[in-house]
Structure 1
């Protein structure tokens, strides 16, 4: 019997880091075509464009980089160098094939990122802050590796934003003067060719600077 290709419903149902590694190991080889292309997945490119429009520059960390769609979009916008980090070695292997990254770092963001403090002038993330994945508990780890003044462009599934606690977390960071200039433009995750159950979903792009 042919093994069924994983899909978005499987990703949204994840509950542990090991579940994530297992799912994305199975999905890595078909993700770009059978999900991103077939479902007109716009979010990685839109996240990259939001980062560039805000004035973001390299070096950039792409957090939860997956197969490298956001890094590829950044490179097309002339933003380099970019490093990728993801929990899935299989997804990072696909990202390396795109030749969009200076380096790839296999890491569980809940446990931190093994790079020196202040290594990056920018941090992007597309598709990682959503159902079954990560919440705002990883923001301190991302802030640690960012230099003062670094721009962030983090996509957050709009339905997950309140449920996941992002509003409160970002408000605490603003009040604590860890970040400044927060805006939250809302964008469509998928284009008009999408036929999936989530085809009308939107994401908030949390744009801000580290103080």
Structure 2
């Protein structure tokens, strides 16, 4: 019997790193076709375009890179080099096949990213901050690996933004002069071919610079 592929509801229900590893190991091989193409997934491209339009340049870290859709979009826009990090080795294996990344790093963002401080001139993340176990508590780890002046383009599910504490976290970072120039354009996550309960969901793309 064919194994039923995981879906968005299962991803939104994640609560632990081990659950994430298991779900994305099961989903990696079908994610691009069954989910991204099937649900007209626009967010990776929107996140990449926002980064490029703001003046973001490489080297870039794609945090929660999954199968590499955002990195692929960055490369199409001429933004290189890009490294990928994700908790799922299976998803990173799919990302490598796209030949969009200089390197891939298997890591749980809750535990930090094993690269030196100030390694990147930009950080992007598309689809990582939804309804799962990751929230604004990972922002310090992302800021640590970014050089002063680095641009960030982080998509956050709009329904999750206030509830998870992103508004307060960004306010503290602004007041503490860790970041500047924060804007929050709202974009559609899915295109007109999407179906299901989440088809009209939107995301806020947190665009800002590290001080």
SS at match of 2:153: strand
Matches within 5 A, 1:164-179: 164-179=164-179
User: Bigger CA drift: 172-181 or 189-198?
Assistant: 189-198
In structure 2, the residue matched to 1:16 is 16
TM-score (norm 1): 0.99
SS at match of 2:100: coil
In structure 1, the residue matched to 2:163 is 163
> What's the offset of the Cα at 1:197?
1.4
Q: Which runs of 5+ in 1 are unaligned?
A: none
String of CA shifts for 1:134-164, please: whole Å, max 9, x gaps: 1000000000000000000000000000001
Matches within 5 A, 1:112-127: 112-127=112-127
User: Bigger CA drift: 126-135 or 51-60?
Assistant: 126-135
Q: Which runs of 5+ in 2 are unaligned?
A: none
Asked if structure 2 preserves the Cα contact closer than 8 Å seen for 1:39 and 1:196, the reply is no
In structure 2, the residue matched to 1:135 is 135
> What's the offset of the Cα at 1:132?
1.3
SS at match of 1:198: coil
> What's the offset of the Cα at 1:133?
3.5
SS at match of 1:168: helix
Matches within 5 A, 1:79-158: 79-158=79-158
Alpha-carbon distance in 2 for matches of 1:149, 1:167? 21
